[in-house]
């Protein structure tokens, strides 16, 4: 491993044909930034220019947003310049209380620690700022335990499919328990399967780029996935059989790690147009898996599906889905146990987090011990959800210290297939603003049967929801529609819901009416309290 002990300005670490800006460090030992390589296909923003600590950083216009991505150490000053005068702006998450000022066409802000931010200016497209912790230790290809993918003579310009060569590299390094190092470059590929003991490091500027040909994403043998283009009559968006393909598969594996500051991009908008609902990453029947630090972009369906797996962690992930592609959830633990999602940023068309027990791939088991914390969420649907595929029980789930910048629904519990939800904790989460979709509720809890059209061959079952604690949660204001809690009947209720220090619009809410929550006759033992501790 390589430990960085001092910084030299202007060091060029790699010169590849696809790179127009290389990895460079600017500043003093105490305060400096790390500029990441920029790929030639990246579209430069014509709206935002950004300067960090006196050095210009690249701002990419990606689909319907703009973003910049860099490393930082120490206090950092960021200057955002626009073509026209700034009439209005805001910086989210608001609870971060980012110090800023505005004059003319410039916005200046300061960061003392790395943050993931959303900047709204003049009703323009959103600007994301990803200021990352600089990695002090990174793999060094001089080390005999580190193998460069370049040793396998792969194309680094994204011009030809390199699935076989990359898969061979993965297989060999996993057996040898070595790190497979991807330097800056574009690596075009179909489905890759990570084996037991795989360690994949994506350097800044490295992009694993998914093929745009659906044939490069073979579906699992013995299963038929949904295809709205070629088989519209049998199409479903339900998780038990929507997809059996993906770009990255961690299947039946142990001790797998993907990390770094690179990108995995599925080109999912193109792939989905061909009827292929491939995940970006599927972790299936595996354990001891870590994905950390990288960016995950443009899946064709759910971004990440954690299926029937144990001890899985996603940390410091930047996720940008295409909001025009439906079913693009963020991270969906499904029959999974001991899962941690920490310090992640998710921009999704569909749910940010949806915890399920779908039985996909005939892997049906309970989900429990799941923690989602310190994240920033933007979604057109639900931010923190259990459901709707719920064929086995879900318990011991904690959502804590999350910043929900945009959502149609903030907290959603949908038991539709017979599951019991128990010990569900929403702790210290803040909800900023509505993304106007079909429900427009801050909270939406429901026990019901799945509709006949959805279930088809499934026998109708009903579950229950019990012991839910909502503590120290705040919302900037009321959502347009009342929140709802609805049980099915006397045997399938919602019970034991506690609101502790629940604030909306700065005021503690001490009753259902005060909190604009509507319940039916099959909800009981709902309490409100204020705890000063």
Q: What is the 3-state secondary structure (H, E, C) of 107-132?
A: EEEEECCCCEEEEEECCCCCEEEEEE
pLDDT at 13: 32
Instruction: Report the SS3 class of residue 157.
Output: strand
Q: Are the C-beta atoms of residues 321 and 347 closer than 8 Å to each other?
A: yes
Residue 342 lies in a domain: no
Q: pLDDT at residue 30 above 70?
A: no
Q: Are the C-beta atoms of residues 70 and 26 closer than 8 Å to each other?
A: no
Nearest CA among 184, 42, 50 for reference residue 117? 50
Residue 282 lies in a domain: no
pLDDT at 399: 99
Q: Under 8 Å CB-to-CB from 100, ≥6 apart: which residues?
A: 89, 91, 107, 108, 109, 110
Confidence class of residue 331 from pLDDT cuts 50, 70 and 90? Answer: very high
Lookup: tokens for 14: 């790699």
Q: Mean pLDDT, to the nearest integer, of 222-226?
A: 90
Residue 97 lies in a domain: yes
Domain count, the chain: 1
Per-residue model confidence as pLDDT tens digits over 284-324: 999 999 999 999 999 999 999 999 999 999 999 999 999 99
Q: Mean pLDDT, to the nearest integer, of 396-416?
A: 98
Residue 103 lies in a domain: yes
Nearest CA among 246, 252, 249, 286 for reference residue 266? 246
Per-residue model confidence as pLDDT tens digits over 175-207: 999 999 999 999 999 999 999 999 999 999 999
Q: Which residue has the tokens 């909502």?
A: 470
Strands 127-133 and 116-121: antiparallel
Residue 319 lies in a domain: no
C-alpha 516 chain-centroid distance: 30
Residue 78 lies in a domain: yes
Q: Under 8 Å CB-to-CB from 195, ≥6 apart: which residues?
A: 170, 171, 174, 175, 253, 256
Nearest CA among 135, 133, 131, 138 for reference residue 111? 131
Confidence class of residue 454 from pLDDT cuts 50, 70 and 90? Answer: low
Per-residue model confidence as pLDDT tens digits over 38-63: 987 899 999 999 999 999 999 999 99
pLDDT at 138: 92
Q: pLDDT at residue 5 above 60?
A: no
Q: pLDDT at residue 29 above 70?
A: no
Confidence class of residue 7 from pLDDT cuts 50, 70 and 90? Answer: very low
306: phi then psi, degrees, rounded to nearest 5: -100, 100
pLDDT at 1: 55
Confidence class of residue 436 from pLDDT cuts 50, 70 and 90? Answer: confident
Q: What is the 3-state secondary structure (H, E, C) of 382-424?
A: EEEEEEEEECCCEEEEEEECCEEEEECEEEEEEECCCCEEEEE
Q: Mean pLDDT, to the nearest integer, of 261-276?
A: 97
How far apart are the C-alpha atoms of 52 and 95, rounded to whole Å?
22
Q: Which residue has the tokens 């490069």?
A: 216
Computed over every residue of the chain, the mean pLDDT equals 93
The β-bridge partners of 91 are: 119
How far apart are the C-alpha atoms of 1 and 270, rounded to whole Å?
38
Residue 75 lies in a domain: yes
Q: Indicate the pTM of the whole model.
A: 0.94
Per-residue model confidence as pLDDT tens digits over 87-141: 999 999 999 999 999 999 999 999 999 999 999 999 999 999 999 999 988 999 8
- Does a cis peptide bond (omega within 30 degrees of 0) precede residue 50? no
pLDDT at 24: 60
Per-residue model confidence as pLDDT tens digits over 228-243: 898 888 788 778 788 9
How far apart are the C-alpha atoms of 119 and 492, rounded to whole Å?
44
Range with lowest mean pLDDT among 28-32, 170-174, 454-458, 484-488: 454-458
How far apart are the C-alpha atoms of 85 and 89, rounded to whole Å?
11
Residue ranges making up the domain that contains 17: 2-133
**DSSP states of 354-383:** EEEE--GGG----EEEEEEES-EEEESSEE
Q: Mean pLDDT, to the nearest integer, of 408-436?
A: 97
Lookup: tokens for 105: 């066409």
Q: Mean pLDDT, to the nearest integer, of 404-418?
A: 98
Lookup: tokens for 60: 């990419």
Higher pLDDT, 466 or 13: 466
Residue 466 lies in a domain: no
Q: Mean pLDDT, to the nearest integer, of 256-268?
A: 98
How far apart are the C-alpha atoms of 216 and 247, rounded to whole Å?
9
Confidence class of residue 10 from pLDDT cuts 50, 70 and 90? Answer: very low
């Amino acid at each position: 491993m390589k430990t960085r002990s001092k910084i030299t300005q202007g060091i060029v670490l790699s010169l590849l044909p696809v790179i127009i800006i290389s990895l460079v460090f600017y500043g003093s030992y105490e305060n400096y930034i790390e500029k990441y390589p920029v790929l030639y296909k990246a579209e430069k923003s014509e709206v935002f220019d950004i300067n960090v600590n006196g050095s210009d950083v690249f701002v990419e216009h990606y689909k319907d947003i703009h973003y910049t991505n860099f490393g930082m150490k120490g206090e950092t000053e960021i200057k955002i310049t626009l073509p026209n005068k700034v009439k209005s702006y805001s910086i989210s998450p608001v609870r971060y209380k980012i110090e800023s000022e505005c004059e003319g066409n410039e916005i200046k802000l300061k960061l003392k620690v790395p943050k993931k931010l959303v900047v709204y200016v003049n009703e323009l497209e959103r600007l994301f700022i990803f200021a990352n912790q600089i990695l002090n230790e990174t793999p060094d290809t001089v080390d005999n335990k580190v193998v460069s993918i370049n040793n396998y003579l792969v194309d680094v310009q994204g011009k030809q499919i390199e699935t076989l060569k990359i898969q061979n590299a993965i297989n060999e390094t996993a057996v040898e328990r070595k790190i497979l190092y991807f330097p800056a470059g574009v690596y075009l590929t179909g489905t890759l399967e990570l084996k037991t003991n795989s360690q994949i490091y994506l350097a800044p500027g490295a992009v694993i780029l998914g093929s745009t040909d659906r044939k490069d994403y073979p579906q699992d043998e013995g299963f038929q996935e949904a295809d709205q283009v070629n088989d519209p009559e049998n199409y479903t968006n339900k998780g038990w059989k929507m997809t059996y393909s993906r770009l990255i598969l961690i299947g039946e594996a142990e001790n797998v790690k993907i990390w770094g500051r690179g990108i995995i991009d599925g080109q999912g908008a193109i792939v989905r147009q061909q009827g292929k609902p491939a995940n970006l990453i599927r972790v299936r029947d595996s354990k001891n898996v870590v994905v950390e630090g990288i960016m995950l972009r443009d899946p064709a369906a759910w971004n990440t599906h954690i299926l029937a797996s144990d001890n899985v962690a996603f940390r410091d992930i930047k996720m940008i889905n295409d909001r025009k592609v439906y079913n693009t959830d963020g991270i969906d633990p499904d029959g999974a146990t001991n899962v941690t999602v920490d310090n992640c940023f998710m921009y999704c068309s569909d749910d940010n987090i949806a915890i399920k027990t779908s039985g996909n791939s005939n892997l049906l088991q309970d989900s429990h011990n799941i923690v989602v914390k310190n994240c920033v969420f933007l979604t057109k649907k639900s931010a923190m959800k259990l459901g709707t595929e719920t064929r086995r029980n879900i318990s011991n789930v904690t959502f804590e210290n999350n910043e929900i910048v945009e959502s149609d629904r903030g907290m959603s519990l949908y038991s539709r297939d017979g599951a019991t939800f128990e010990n569900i904790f929403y702790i210290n989460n803040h909800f900023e603003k509505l993304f106007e979709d079909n429900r427009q509720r801050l909270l939406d809890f429901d026990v019901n049967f799945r509709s006949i059209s959805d279930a088809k061959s499934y026998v109708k079952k009903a579950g229950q929801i019990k012991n839910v604690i909502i503590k120290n949660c705040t919302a900037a204001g009321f959502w347009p529609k009342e929140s709802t809690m609805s049980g099915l009947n006397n045997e399938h209720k919602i019970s034991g819901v506690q609101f502790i220090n629940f604030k909306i619009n700065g005021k503690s809410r001490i009753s259902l009416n005060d909190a604009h929550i509507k319940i039916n006759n099959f909800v009981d033992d709902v309490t409100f309290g204020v705890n000063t501790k």
